[in-house]
Amino acid sequence: MKVRDPVCKMEIDAEKAAATSEYQGKKFYFCAPGCKAAFDKDPARYVGQ
Ligand SMILES: [Zn+2]
């Protein structure tokens, strides 16, 4: 499954994601732990309404 990293906008494979996070009941996938850290710090900034 292809997903988009909300932080760097890179398209990645969900199974190969380096990190995942949940926000408002939705799961997000990240290419690197650094992207997850940025997301966890301020998720609202990366998630559209
Ligand atoms: Zn990323």
pLDDT tens digits, one per residue of 1-49 = 999 999 999 999 999 999 999 999 999 999 999 999 999 999 999 997 5
- Distance between Cα 33 and ligand 1 center (Å): 8
- The reply to whether 48 falls in a domain is no
- The reply to whether 8 falls in a domain is yes
- The reply to whether 37 falls in a domain is yes
- Distance between Cα 31 and ligand 1 center (Å): 4
Sign of CA dihedral 40, 41, 46, 48: positive
Give pLDDT, residue 49: 59
CA–CA distances in Å: residue 22 to residues 5, 26: 13, 5
Q: How many distinct structural domains can be found in the chain?
A: 1
What are the residues whose beta carbon lies below 5 Å from ligand 1 (ion)? 5, 7-8, 31, 35
User: Biggest alpha carbon distance in the chain?
Assistant: 27
Cα gap 10→24, rounded to integer Å: 21
- The reply to whether 11 falls in a domain is yes
Q: What is the pTM of this model?
A: 0.91
